[in-house]
Amino acid sequence: MTKKTSPVNKTSLLDVVIAGIQEVKGHDIVCLDLREIKHAISDYFVICHGNSHTQVDAIARSIDKETESQLNESAVHIEGRNNSEWVLMDYTDVVVHIFYKEARPFYALEELWADAKATHIEDVVVNMKTID
């Protein structure tokens, strides 16, 4: 299988995907740079999880909405939205993996691709003011 080249700048696509995840408070975002790995199917994997099936679906919808509105880019293929255990969104050079929290350790993609350069993105923290 050969990689296709996307007309969208990969860095901006990564930024928009990460922003889409953060918009609905996805957790433990990791970006794996696979460009130096021979025969890797993509240039980047973005991995995150949601604490519920509803949140997993919301993350996928948010990424879809953000990439479409900001970059006019749609995923080439999406799998797993029926059960929201593991949703895969394929943007050719960037593949997004959204896991349900309990499913993520079972598949352990970060360990499977341990030779890739991993960048961990901090979770968005919401500051709430108390009203006296």
- Domain range for 117: 10-121
Statement: residue 103 has pLDDT above 50: yes
What CATH number does the domain containing 49 carry? 3.30.460.10
Q: For residue 125, what pLDDT is reported?
A: 62
Q: For residue 8, what pLDDT is reported?
A: 56
Q: What is the mean pLDDT of residues 85-94?
A: 96
Q: For residue 3, what pLDDT is reported?
A: 42
Kind of pairing, strands 44-50 and 94-100? parallel
- For the chain, the residue count is 132
Q: Is 19 helix (H, G, I), strand (E, B) or coil?
A: helix
Q: For residue 123, what pLDDT is reported?
A: 78
CB 69 within 8 A of CB 21: no
How confident is the model over 30-88, as pLDDT tens digits?
A: 999 999 998 889 999 999 999 999 999 999 999 999 999 999 999 999 999 998 899 99
Whether 71 maps to a domain, the answer reads: yes
Whether 49 maps to a domain, the answer reads: yes
Q: How many domains does the chain have?
A: 1
How confident is the model over 10-34, as pLDDT tens digits?
A: 669 999 999 999 999 999 999 999 9
pTM for the whole structure: 0.85
